[in-house]
Amino acid sequence: MRKVALISPKGSLFGRNEKMKSFVENSKIMESFRYLWSGPNLGLITIAAYMPKEWDIEYIDENYVEIDYTKKYDIVCLSAMTQQAPNAYRIAKKFRDKGTLTVMGGIHATVSPEEAAKNVDVVIVGEGEVLWPRFLRDYLSGDIKRIYKESKQGEYDLKKALIPRYDLLVGYEYPVITLYTTRGCPHDCSFCCASNIYGHKYRRKSNTQIVKELELINSLFPDRLILFADDNMLVKRRECKEMLKAMVDMNLRWIAQTDISIAQDEELLELMVLAGCQWVVIGFESISHRSLRDIEKIYFKLKHQSQYPELIKKIQSYGIGIYGTFIVGLDNDTINVFEFTTDFILQNNLYGVNITVPTPLPGTQLREKLVNEGRVLNGDWGYYTLWDVVIRPRKMSVKQLQDGLLYMYKRINEDFASKERLVYLREAVKIRKKICESYKKREGCEENE
C-alpha cells in the first residue's frame, strides 16, 4: 500500500510587520477575518479523491500540526499560495534529502513552474482534476515527468469533478469548511491571477454535485460554518437559485464570495437567507474612481461604484452582512485614501473588512507593470502576504502606506467594538429569522390550500 502525505505549508495570516501583527492578533475585528482565511486546503483534498481507495493518505496542515519528518511516505504532495512557497520548498528539501518523491501544485506552482521545479521533483501546472490522474498513471508505470501541464488552461468540465475527500479533515478544528462550485472569471483585474490560471469562462459544478458535497460536509462537520470559496459564486443566477432552493431545508450556515450586483435581485437575496447565508464577501477594491479604473479591465465594479451605498443597504436589509475587501496604496491613491476608505467602511456598517496593499503576485498584470517600472522592492515570497509593502508606491512612501494600513485597522477596530455595532449585528439576525418565519408561513398556507 502506498503512503502519501498531502501537506499545506504554514502561511502568515496577518503579514510580517510586527506592529500590525501584534495589533490585529489581539483585535476583535479580526474574528471574521480568521474565519475567512483559516479553512482547509481544498486543492489537496480534491486530488486525494483521484487516488486509489486503498492508499494510505494523510492530510497535514502545518498551520495546525507539526510535520513528523521521521515518517516515511512514498509521495509528499505540497500545495501553496505564493506567500507559503518558501515554506513549501523548506519542507520539500527535508523530504527530498531522505529520497522521498515530492510533488507541488496549487497557485504558486502554476504561475511559477520553473522556480518550483528547482525545489521539488514534479510540478503540477493547472487543475489537479486533470493533471493528478496523468501523474498517477506515469507514477505507477515508472515514467514520471518533471512538469505536468494542461494543453489549454480553464477548459476542464467541473461537472466531471469528484467530491473532495472531506473525511481527511476530520480532527482539524477549522472554523470554516470550504467548498468550491465554480472556477474562472472574465474580469481579469490587474492584481489577481484568477482569469489567468482558471480562464475567462465561468465553469460550474452541477447542483446535484454541490448538494451532495454539502450533505457530506454537514454530516462530517455538523453546524460548522461553510465558506463557498469560489471567486464569485452567484454569477449563474438561474442555476444558483435552483441550488439555493435545494439548500433551504439543509439547516446550513454559510458565507460566500460574490459581487455587489446581487443587491439588484431580491428573489436571490431572499433565497440566500432561506438557504442559511450569514454574510457575503464583496471585493470593492477601491472607492476612488480613478484607482478602480486603473485595476479593472471591463469596468464591472466601476459601473456600480457610485451606487455602492444603496446597494449595500439593500443587501443588509435582508440581514446579510457584508464583508468588504479593499486595496489601498494604488497608483492614484494619495495618503487621503486611508481616511476616506475608513469613513466609507464605517458609514456603510460593514460586517468585516480585509484591507490590503498592492502586491505584485506572480501571474498578475500588476507584477509585469511593477517589475518593468523597477518598483518591486522585495523578492522574498514570504512577504507577499498582501499586508506587507513590497513595492514602491507612486504617491506615498513605503512607511506611509504601512502606517496608513495600521491606522485604518485601528480606527475600524474602535468603531467595531462599539455598542451600536452589537445592536446592528443582533438586528441582522432578527431580520433573517423574520424572513425564514414568513417563508414558512407562506409555505404552510400553500400546503393547506
Q: Which residues bind ligand SF4 (CB under 6 A)?
A: 185, 187-189, 192, 194-195, 231, 283
Going by C-alpha positions, the residue among 20, 104, 1 that lies closest to residue 355 is 20
CB of 392 to ligand SF4, least distance (A): 23
- For residues 20 and 282, which CB has a smaller minimum distance to ligand SF4 in the complex? 282
Q: Which is nearer to ligand SF4, 48 or 292 (CB)?
A: 292
Cβ at position 447, least distance to ligand SF4 in Å: 41
Largest CA distance in the chain: 73
- Torsion angle (degrees, nearest 10) of CA 119, 53, 178, 198: 60
| CB nearer to ligand SF4: pick between 189 and 229 | 189
Q: Closer CB to ligand SF4, residue 158 or residue 274?
A: 158
CB closer to ligand SF4 out of 195 and 341: 195
Q: How far is the CB of 338 from ligand SF4 (least distance, A)?
A: 22
- For residue 375, the minimal CB distance to ligand SF4 (Å) is 21
Closest separation in Å from C-beta 3 to ligand SF4: 36
- Measured from the CB atom, is 185 or 225 closer to ligand SF4? 185
Q: Three cell numbers at 248?
A: 433551504
Closest CA to 170 of 6, 54, 69, 58: 58
Between 83 and 356, CB nearer to ligand SF4: 356
Cβ of residue 1: shortest distance to ligand SF4, in angstroms?
40
258 vs 278, beta carbon nearer ligand SF4: 258
| Nearest to ligand SF4 of 231, 333 (CB atom) | 231
CB of 77 to ligand SF4, least distance (A): 25
